């Protein structure tokens, strides 16, 4: 006999049921190398150069470099491939995405000065722009032929000493999904007959229904969709063609959805599938300040500071379980009502240091160093109280890492109209993998037990462009490889630890930018 249980999160305004973890926060802390084709073609190493619409989001002082007004837009085609190895079994998945990733209007406003006067404020430029900071779109499939550890073991451990009367639906009398002291994954496991109760001296404990040596064959699929966008208004001044100072006020928007499906086929027959869907959406704002100095015609040096982004976010989560335990017995199940959770996230400070060497009229080499203070990110409840997330905030400090990104790019001008570009970038691990384990709250409504440890991200880019006096078109290619380690659940406290999987996600992006100068 097969059963199907549905659960929709009811967590409005209740701090006891907050379900966010440090892994949720980490998704919205780190942006990506996205933007115009010229910017992408040089791996984003534009902090000290400016003169590019996407460079402004890294260092606002780059807006002051403009001598003419400009309008531009960027289109991106992404080919994503995921390759996972789990206990020797390889699984692959892919996805194609198309995105309008940048639109900018630059207004160059020279100040009125005499013909030979090049001192003081020479121009006061403005920018209005849209940038896609990050795309979450990804499909992943992971598969293992055999595992001695089962999620039913985790469910039994997580249920602890909750008595069965708190987990079983009683028509017209008791709904376990309404009990704020009971984790929903335990309700699903109990109602699905995946765990069994043991009572000793009036105290309950739980064990998996599987045999002590019974193996399982797990499969996991993930579909992620969504984006992190930024809308900005910026100003920058050019002082004597030597010093450039700029700032932007930015509104950021997040819309992220993860649909996961974790299945096990039991060695003695039957199986189960746990489906989890989580959507996070909201807006935030931050301020960016930047400066560029040009001590000589050949050398450029840049510095920028990004203040923490303050987000107001809403989570909606949905869970279901499909199970076949007819050879062992099963129970009837209920359906609950929908709801949501509101909270705040403060993203960390970010510092950007950059330098560039301009080689006459023919080329340039640029480098950039970004430092994200990820461990200073913090979660708050709707009233701005961090105490409600004391465990999660402690986990952010212990389990995440400050991320360092190095970007190197170059451009060679073959003719007055045609330029070629190339670049490389590397981002360090975002998680402290010796300690980064997903710790779910005892009374959480979330059932997405899986987590990814971030090992590193590498980018390799190339591009070319054609420019006339009044218009330009640029093309770029970027190969991005994200290296992660996957765990379907935290097995540190179980008798048998689950084996992790190695996941490499490769994104091949083709970027096209068309712009007009006036």
> What is the pLDDT, as a whole number, of residue 180?
84
Q: Outline where 148-255 has alpha helix (H).
A: 151-159, 184-191
Is 15's pLDDT higher than 50?
no
Mean pLDDT of 415-442: 91
For position 123, which CATH number holds?
2.40.160.60
The tens digit of pLDDT for each residue in 98-111 reads 999 999 999 999 88
Is 24's pLDDT higher than 90?
no
Is 261's pLDDT higher than 60?
yes
The tens digit of pLDDT for each residue in 203-249 reads 888 999 998 889 999 999 999 999 999 999 999 999 999 999 999 99
The rounded distance, in Å, linking the Cα atoms of 282 and 253 is 6
The tens digit of pLDDT for each residue in 442-492 reads 888 888 999 999 999 999 999 999 999 999 999 999 999 999 999 999 999
| Residue 96: alpha-carbon gap to chain centroid | 18
Mean pLDDT of 35-59: 95
Choose among 70, 42, 145: nearest CA to 516. 70
> What is the pLDDT, as a whole number, of residue 433?
82
> What is the pLDDT, as a whole number, of residue 335?
38
> What is the pLDDT, as a whole number, of residue 330?
46
> What is the pLDDT, as a whole number, of residue 326?
62
Is 91's pLDDT higher than 70?
yes
Mean pLDDT of 491-517: 95
> What is the pLDDT, as a whole number, of residue 339?
47
Q: What are phi and psi of 146, to 5 degrees?
A: -160, 135
The rounded distance, in Å, linking the Cα atoms of 368 and 14 is 44
pTM for the structure as a whole:
0.89
Cβ atoms of 273 and 262 closer than 8 Å: yes
> What is the pLDDT, as a whole number, of residue 212?
86
Length of the chain: 518
Domain extent at residue 73: 2-517
The tens digit of pLDDT for each residue in 318-375 reads 888 888 766 544 433 333 444 468 899 999 999 999 999 999 889 999 999 999 999 9
- DSSP track, 448-516: ---EEEEEEEEEEEEEEEEE-SSEEEEEEEEEEEEEEEEESS--TTSSSPPPPEEEEEEEEEEEEEEEE
> What is the pLDDT, as a whole number, of residue 324?
77
Look at the chain and report how many structural domains it folds into: 1
Q: Residue 497, Cβ neighbours under 10 Å: how many?
A: 13
The rounded distance, in Å, linking the Cα atoms of 262 and 323 is 12
The tens digit of pLDDT for each residue in 299-317 reads 999 999 999 999 999 998 8
> What band does 8 get if pLDDT is binned at 50, 70 and 90?
low
Cα dihedral across residues 310, 316, 322, 328: positive or negative: positive
Cα dihedral across residues 227, 441, 439, 213: positive or negative: negative
Choose among 305, 314, 268: nearest CA to 287. 305
| Residue 172: alpha-carbon gap to chain centroid | 42
Most confident of 11-25, 35-49, 317-331: 35-49
> What is the pLDDT, as a whole number, of residue 11?
39
> What is the pLDDT, as a whole number, of residue 72?
97
SS3 10: coil
Q: Residue 144, Cβ neighbours under 10 Å: how many?
A: 22
More confident residue, 200 or 57: 57
> What is the pLDDT, as a whole number, of residue 340?
63
3-class SS letters over 339-381: CCEEEEEECCCEEEEEEEEEECCCEEEEEEEEEECHHHCEEEC
Cβ atoms of 384 and 433 closer than 8 Å: no
Q: Which residues pair with 89 in a beta bridge?
A: 86
> What is the pLDDT, as a whole number, of residue 14?
41
3-class SS letters over 130-186: EEEEEECCEEEEEECCCECCCHHHHHHHHHCCCCHHHCCCECCCECHHHCCCCCHHH
> What is the pLDDT, as a whole number, of residue 7?
59
> What is the pLDDT, as a whole number, of residue 390?
87
> What is the pLDDT, as a whole number, of residue 284?
95
Pair of tokens at residue 446: 């979330």
> What is the pLDDT, as a whole number, of residue 30?
84
Q: What is the mean pLDDT of the chain?
A: 89
């Amino acid at each position: 006999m097969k059963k199907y249980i549905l659960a929709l999160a009811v967590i409005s305004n209740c701090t006891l049921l907050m379900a966010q973890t440090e892994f949720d926060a980490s998704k919205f802390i780190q942006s990506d190398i996205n933007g115009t084709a010229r910017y992408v073609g040089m791996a984003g190493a534009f902090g000290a150069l400016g003169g590019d619409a996407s460079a402004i989001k890294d260092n606002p002082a780059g807006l002051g470099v403009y001598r003419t007004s400009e309008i531009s837009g960027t289109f991106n085609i992404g080919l994503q491939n995921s390759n996972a190895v789990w206990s020797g079994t390889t699984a692959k998945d892919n996805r194609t995405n198309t995105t309008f990733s940048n639109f900018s209007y630059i207004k160059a406003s020279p100040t009125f000065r005499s013909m030979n006067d090049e001192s003081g404020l020479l121009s006061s430029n403005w920018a209005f722009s849209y940038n896609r900071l990050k795309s979450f779109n990804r499909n992943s499939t992971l598969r293992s032929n055999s595992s001695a550890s089962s999620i039913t073991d985790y469910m039994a451990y997580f249920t602890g000493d909750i008595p069965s009367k708190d987990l079983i639906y009683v028509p017209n009398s008791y709904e376990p999904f309404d009990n704020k002291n009971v984790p929903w994954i335990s309700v699903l496991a109990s109602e699905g007959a995946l765990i069994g109760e043991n009572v000793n001296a009036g105290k309950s404990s739980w064990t998996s229904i599987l045999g002590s040596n019974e193996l399982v064959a797990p499969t996991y699929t993930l579909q992620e969709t969504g984006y992190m966008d930024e809308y900005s208004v910026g100003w920058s001044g050019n002082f004597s063609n030597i010093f450039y100072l700029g700032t932007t006020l930015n509104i950021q928007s997040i819309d992220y959805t993860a649909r996961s499906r974790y299945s096990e086929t039991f060695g003695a027959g039957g199986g189960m599938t746990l489906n989890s869907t989580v959507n996070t959406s909201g807006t935030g704002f931050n301020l960016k300040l930047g400066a560029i100095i040009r001590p000589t015609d050949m050398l450029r040096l840049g510095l920028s500071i990004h203040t923490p982004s303050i987000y107001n976010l809403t989570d909606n989560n949905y869970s279901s379980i499909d199970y076949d335990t007819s050879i062992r017995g099963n129970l009837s199940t209920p359906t609950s009502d929908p709801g949501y959770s509101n909270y705040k996230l403060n993203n960390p400070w970010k510092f950007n240091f950059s330098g560039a060497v301009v080689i006459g009229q023919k080329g340039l080499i640029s480098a950039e160093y970004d430092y994200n203070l990820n461990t200073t990110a913090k979660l708050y409840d709707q009233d701005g109280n961090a105490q409600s997330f004391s465990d999660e905030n402690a986990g952010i400090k212990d389990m995440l890492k400050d991320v360092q990104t190095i970007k190197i790019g170059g451009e060679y001008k073959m003719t007055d109209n045609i330029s070629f570009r190339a670049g490389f970038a590397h981002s360090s691990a975002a998680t402290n993998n010796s300690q980064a384990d997903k710790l779910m709250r005892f009374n959480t409504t979330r059932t997405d037990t899986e987590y990814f440890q971030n090992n590193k991200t590498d980018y390799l880019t190339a591009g070319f462009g054609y420019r006339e006096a009044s218009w330009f078109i640029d093309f770029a290619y970027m190969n991005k490889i994200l290296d992660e380690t996957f765990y379907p659940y935290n097995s540190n406290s179980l008798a048998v630890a689950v084996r992790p999987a190695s996941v490499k996600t490769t994104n091949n992006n083709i970027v096209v930018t068309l712009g007009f100068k006036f």
